[in-house]
Amino acid sequence: MVSSGVAALDPLLGDGYPDKSTILVVGPPGIGKEALGYWFTHSGLIQGDFCVYVTRLSVKEVLQDEKGFGVDSQKKVPFWFASEGGQIKYDVNDLAGLSHNIKEILNQNAGRRVRIVIDAISSLLMLNQPETIYRLLTQLFADVKQYDAVLLATLEEGMHQPQVLAAMQQLFDGVVEMRLYEEGLRVLPLLRVRKMRGVPPQPGYFNFSLTRDGMEVSAYVK
Amino acid sequence: MSSSDLVLTILNVLAYAPLLALVYAAYWAFDIRHALTVRLFRNQAFGLGLFSLVFTLAALPSPQVGSNGILGSVPFQIGYILVTSAFWLGAIYFVDATALASRRSDPLLRDTLHWSKVRYVLWVFQVFNVSFILLGISLSAITGNASYANQIIQGNNGAFTSLPAVIANLAWAAAFGSMIMFLPIAIRSRNPGLRRHLKWLAGVPVALGVFVIVLIIVSSTPAETFLNNPAGNVLGNTLLYLAVGYCLYRSARALVPLNRISLSSSDQVPGNLA
């Protein structure tokens, strides 16, 4: 198992993300699903894993966001695919390049655990036919699973058709939902582990809060 | 009590209904803000809440204006100008926060109308305008002389008769002019949630526009007499602000997708942290 980087989340996942797995984090803009990616990357860097961060933002923007969650990537730096400031420039139109570069990285780090975070799935889906992205991800996942790698991707809720969301959830080994729910006159952020390979289905919801010190999780009771 | 007085009393009570609608819209915006963690989107929700609160202040039933058309006491004038200053700054904040958040949700991260640079100019311009106005009303408050405040209020009514009036007009132009940003954002955005949010927001100027058109249509007709009397005035403003409040409420709810918890029999067990 690979730690998620969030001590409070690992028990819900069955001690972390499964080896050689692909994880999808779904949530609306602003809820903090990228924070799971930041903590996942940061924990990997501390443990000596090779970490790749794929984003359509610039490195500077991501580092700024990370600071809000208490993550400091200045000392240990992941391998960046970013629009600016990264080792490889992220080109939203170059799907083949993206796939090829990730495969190359996996090849070059065959003896190490690799953690890949992709924070650009939604933009890929908005700019391409969903079927194109399904094929891309299917091929990418096949490559990831040949190595000791875990891939975590984020997807924006509310930006895609329900059938696209459902199809995406089918592709991944694990799905974590961070959503806003109405309870009377309140809006609650709740987390749910929709599915996770090797773990029995968990129907429950969990309250969560994200702070600079990490994530706090508690059982939701109506 | 005559029937007309009774009607007027009922209408004056109903005049507070829009306040509830506007406060409710602000409440949803602030509650959503509280649930979010990324500063960019929290600011967007805060901006909408602030905007709704400013409308709440604007919708407060106010004392009758004096016969010369100038609002009565100096304290009331100052309060009126403070509310409009809050609107001038609140509008810029709201547009800025929405534009920055919309850029983040654009798959190509486009900088609509070079907003990342234009925003600094707009903020400096508006802060200057508001500072000038606030300095002036501070003088009015200290001296008890209403003339400066009156000049600003004349500017609010479209006059260009003095420097404070011109500054007030520029502040209004900056506030409303900045809202033009919403149109290209809505057109460009592929985010259905953002488009829904902006669509409902567009209901605010539509409501204001319909109100103005109705006023124009009924002018020089018998209906104008009704609208000009206190009961008609209150009814018109109540309907207007109710419409604005509803649009802001729907816009707030469209900021993020909101789900309902579905607890089937298998879901009744609280989440297991073991």
The length of chain B in residues reads 274
Which tokens belong to B93? 């904040």
For all residues of chain A together, what is the average pLDDT?
91
Pairwise CA distance, residues A114 & A19, whole Å? 10
Task: Tally A–B CB contacts below 8 A.
Answer: 125
Query: Which residues make Cβ contacts (< 8 Å) with residue B260, sequence separation at least 6?
Result: A181, A182
Helices (H), A69-111: 95-108
Q: What is the pLDDT of residue A137?
A: 95
Inter-chain CB proximity A159 and B260 less than 8 Å: no
State the average pLDDT over residues B77-83: 80
Element (H, E) at A11: helix A10-13
Pairwise CA distance, residues A12 & A33, whole Å? 16
Q: Does domain A20-177 have CATH number 3.40.50.300?
A: yes
Q: What is the pLDDT of residue B137?
A: 81
Give me the DSSP letters along A123-167: HHHHHS-HHHHHHHHHHHHHHHTTSSEEEEEEEETTSS-HHHHHH
Contact A27, A177 (CB under 8 A): yes
Residue to test with chain B: of A123, A178, A187, most B Cβ within 10 A: A187
ipTM of the complex: 0.90
Q: Does B192 touch chain A (CB under 8 A)?
A: yes
Per-residue pLDDT band at A194 (split at 50, 70, 90): very high
Domain definitions of chain A by residue range: 20-177
Contacts of B269 in chain A (CB under 8 A): 203-204
Kindly report the backbone phi and psi dihedral angles of residue A70, in degrees, each rounded to the nearest multiple of 5, phi listed first. Answer: 75, 20
State the average pLDDT over residues A49-71: 91
Q: Does A202 touch chain B (CB under 8 A)?
A: yes
State the average pLDDT over residues A149-172: 94
Find the range with the poorest average confidence among A2-11, B10-19, B39-48, B129-138: B10-19
Task: Please tell me the pTM assigned to this model.
Answer: 0.88
Q: How many Å lie between the alpha carbon of A109 and the closest alpha carbon of chain B?
A: 30
> Is residue B265's pLDDT more than 50?
no
